[in-house]
């Protein structure tokens, strides 16, 4: 059974913070509300677009569901048109994804980004890579850290927990993997502070370290399959 790697998107594969922050600030400016720095937005993302909007709003506005809904609509309209102005893959990520695919890994994405946005960014930055699934925020599955989306991806890929690993940059990703009963590799180059990642099975500080860890895991599985005495 081939090994499946499920990647988070924002902060793991792609640095999307400038486009997310700029879209939020554009919306706040239109409403005459205080804006935030990109570093502040790093701690607001990761739990879906509605949560991002709520965290960006003043407390009195964030508690008004009607106001949040209208602000979210404005944000999504602008973000959809400016989703890839500054967004780029992290250094070494396209090469790593290509190498993993070539070596036989099954690959997938599990993100809390809007579904259309996740699909658009993956298609742009990873053309030709046969992802098993690119899953964003859809009505069919709850957001991470619920494990439902991971379980769906494993079923679609035809793999089980023993052959699946998740890669992410946040406590949300760690909790998702733990809820699904699979290992989690955290990457330190993303949006969250390192102390949030200590519960991960492994922390990768570079794409080279991430690749080495994943390839070592694949080779270990290959050796077991080819060893008649392996348990």
pLDDT at 223: 43
Pick from 38, 54, 81: which residue ends a domain? 81
Residue 6: predicted pLDDT: 98
Query: Do 125 and 11 share a structural domain?
Result: yes
pLDDT, residue 228, reads 42
Q: Rounded CA gap, 79 and 73, in Å? A: 10
Q: pTM of the prediction?
A: 0.92
pLDDT tens digit string along 42-93?
A: 999 999 999 999 999 999 999 999 999 999 999 999 999 999 999 999 999 9
**Which structural domain, as residue segments, surrounds residue 128?**
4-15+88-226
Q: Is the pLDDT of residue 156 over 90?
A: yes
Which pLDDT score, from 0 to 100, does residue 170 have?
97
- Where residue 102 sits, what CATH number does that domain have? 3.40.50.1000
- Confidence (pLDDT) at 215: 87
Domain boundary among 63, 81, 99: 81
**Tokens of residue 47, six digits:** 């739990």
Q: Which of 54, 81, 108 is the last residue of a domain?
A: 81
The answer to whether residue 218 scores a pLDDT higher than 60 is: yes
pLDDT band at 226 (very low <50, low <70, confident <90, very high): very low
pLDDT (0 to 100) of residue 1: 65
Contact 103, 215 (CB under 8 A): yes
- Residue 175 near residue 197, CB atoms below 8 Å: no
Q: How many domains, in total, are found in the chain?
A: 2
Question: Do 172 and 125 lie in a common domain?
Answer: yes
User: What is the token pair recorded at 11?
Assistant: 């902060």
Average pLDDT over residues 107-129: 97
Based on the domain organization, do 94 and 73 belong to the same domain? no
3-state secondary structure the chain: CCCEEEECCECCCEECHHHHHHHHHHHHHHCCCCCCCHHHHHCCCCCCHHHHHHHHCCHHHHCCHHHHHHHHHHHHHHHHHCCCCCCEECCCHHHHHHHHHHCCCEEEEEEEEEHHHHHHHHHHHCCCCCCCEEEEECCCCCCCCCCHHHHHHHHHHCCCHHHEEEEECCHHHHHHHHHHCCCEEEECCCCCCHHHHCCCCEEECCHHHHHHHHHHHHHHHHHHHHCCCCC
Closest among 54, 84, 121, 88 to 189, alpha carbons compared: 88
**Any domain includes 64:** yes
List residues with catalytic annotation. Answer: 8
Q: How far is it, in rounded angstroms, from Cα 201 to Cα 166?
A: 10
Instruction: Give whole-number Cα distances, 127 to 21, 152, 192, in Å.
Output: 26, 23, 27
Write down the mean pLDDT value for the chain.
Answer: 93
**Same domain? 142 vs 53:** no
Mean pLDDT, residues 187-214:
96
Q: What is the pLDDT of residue 111?
A: 98
**Which pLDDT score, from 0 to 100, does residue 231 have?**
41
Q: What Å distances lie between residue 9 and 60, 64, 110, 207, 220, CA to CA?
A: 31, 29, 7, 14, 27
* 114 touches 134 (CB < 8 A): no
What's residue 229's pLDDT? 46
């Amino acid at each position: 059974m081939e090994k499946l790697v499920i990647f988070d998107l924002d902060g793991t594969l792609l640095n999307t913070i400038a486009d997310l922050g700029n879209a939020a600030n554009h919306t706040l400016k239109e409403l005459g509300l205080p804006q935030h720095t990109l570093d502040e937005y790093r701690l607001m993302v990761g739990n879906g677009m509605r949560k991002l909007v709520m965290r960006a709003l003043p407390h009195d506005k964030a508690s008004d569901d009607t106001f949040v809904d209208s602000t979210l609509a404005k944000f999504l309209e602008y973000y959809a048109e400016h989703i890839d102005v500054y967004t780029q893959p992290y250094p070494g990520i396209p090469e790593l994804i290509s190498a993993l695919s070539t070596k036989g890994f099954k690959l997938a994405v599990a993100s809390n980004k809007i579904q259309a946005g996740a699909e658009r960014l993956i298609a742009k930055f990873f053309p030709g890579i046969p992802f098993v699934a690119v899953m964003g925020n859809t009505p069919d599955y709850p957001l991470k850290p619920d494990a439902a989306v991971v379980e769906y991806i494993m079923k679609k890929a035809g793999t089980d927990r023993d052959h699946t690993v998740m890669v992410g940059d946040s406590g949300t990703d760690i909790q998702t993997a733990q809820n699904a009963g699979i290992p989690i590799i955290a990457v330190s180059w993303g949006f969250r502070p390192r102390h949030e990642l200590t519960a991960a099975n492994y922390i990768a500080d570079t794409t080279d370290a991430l690749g080495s860890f994943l390839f070592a895991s694949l080779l270990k599985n290959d050796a077991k399959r080819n060893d008649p005495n392996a348990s």
